Amino acid sequence: KNEVEQSPQNLTAQEGEFITINCSYSVGISALHWLQQHPGGGIVSLFMLSSGKKKHGRLIATINIQEKHSSLHITASHPRDSAVYICAVKTSGSRLTFGEGTQLTVNP
């Protein structure tokens, strides 16, 4: 079992839909990252969380430390949101452990 599991693996939505991507982890962490990777590969760091909730534009990230679970929400989704979304947790030292990613496709 991976230390970081994301669901779903693939998600297709229509423009305007509300989207949720989930991340569960089985290890103690000091922080959790949500990353976005576009076709072509470049990675953008969306959020770093250690507790509670953060919001940036149409993106919202939440984390529940007790339940070892985080969610990334996208409101009013748009085709340009199509990308792979990756959850990564910071465990001991400097190491990040990555989830397998969620491929999101938003159709117009």
Partner 1 sequence: GAVVSQHPSWVICKSGTSVKIECRSLDFQATTMFWYRQFPKQSLMLMATSNEGSKATYEQGVEKDKFLINHASLTLSTLTVTSAHPEDSSFYICSARVMTGGYEQYFGPGTRLTVT
CA 11 to each of CA 8, 20, 54, 89, 106: distance values in angstroms, whole numbers, following the listed order = 6, 9, 22, 22, 8
> In terms of CB distance, is 47 or 74 closer to partner 1?
47
Residue 33 as a binder of partner 1 (CB under 8 A): the answer is yes
Nearest approach in angstroms of CB 80 to partner 1 is: 17
Residue 39 as a binder of partner 1 (CB under 8 A): the answer is no
Residue 43 as a binder of partner 1 (CB under 8 A): the answer is yes
Place of tokens 């998600």: 11
Residue 10 as a binder of partner 1 (CB under 8 A): the answer is no
The residues with which 107 forms a beta bridge, in sequence order, are 14
